[in-house]
Structure 1
Amino acid sequence: MLRSISLALFLSVIPATAFANSCPTIMAAIDAALPSATLAEADMTKVKDLRAQGEKLHAAGDHAGSEAALNEAKKMLGI
């Protein structure tokens, strides 16, 4: 009984951990694209704000929110 509960808890953590690992990958892609980005100043500010928001949400454990913000920044950058 205890073994099956432990296994269930372990398996429920794996997807969350895998999901959490994509946030830093997205942040790195944004960071790599920023220096050569040709956006209007307002759009560049928005991308940087979304990038910062994504990092803050990632650190707080809100990986879905982090990915949403980071993916919006990626879309604006065209990556």
Structure 2
Amino acid sequence: MLRSISLALLLTIAPASAFANSCPTQMAAIDAALPTASLSEADMTKVKELRKQGEDLHNAGDHAGSLAALGEAKKMLGI
């Protein structure tokens, strides 16, 4: 019984921590693409805002929101 509870708890926590750990990877990909991006000034500003928003949401524990914002920034950058 205890083994089943432990396994269920592990399966619940593991995806959440994996989800949280991908935010920094996404931010790093955006940071690497920014210097060579050929975007309009308005789009570059929007990408930087989304990147900041993603970091803020990640730090607040909202990893789904963070990944959504970072995903939009990556889409605008074409990565």
What TM-score do the two structures reach when normalised by structure 2?
A: 0.91
Kindly state the Cα deviation for residue 22 of structure 1 after the two structures are TM-superposed.
1.0
The amino acid that maps onto 1:74 is: K
2 CA distance for matches of 1:46 and 1:11? Answer: 36
SS at 2:48 equivalent? helix
The amino acid that maps onto 1:64 is: A
Deviations 1:27-50 (Å, cap 9, x if unpaired)?
Answer: 000000001111111100000000
Question: What's the C-alpha RMSD, in Å, of the aligned pairs?
Answer: 1.1
Q: Which residue of 1 aligns with 2:47?
A: 47
- What does 1:1-79 align with in structure 2 at a 5 Å threshold? 1-79=1-79
Unaligned stretches of 5+ residues in structure 1: none
Unaligned stretches of 5+ residues in structure 2: none
2 CA distance for matches of 1:21 and 1:68? Answer: 14
Kindly state the Cα deviation for residue 3 of structure 1 after the two structures are TM-superposed.
4.2
1 CA distance for matches of 2:58 and 2:36? Answer: 25
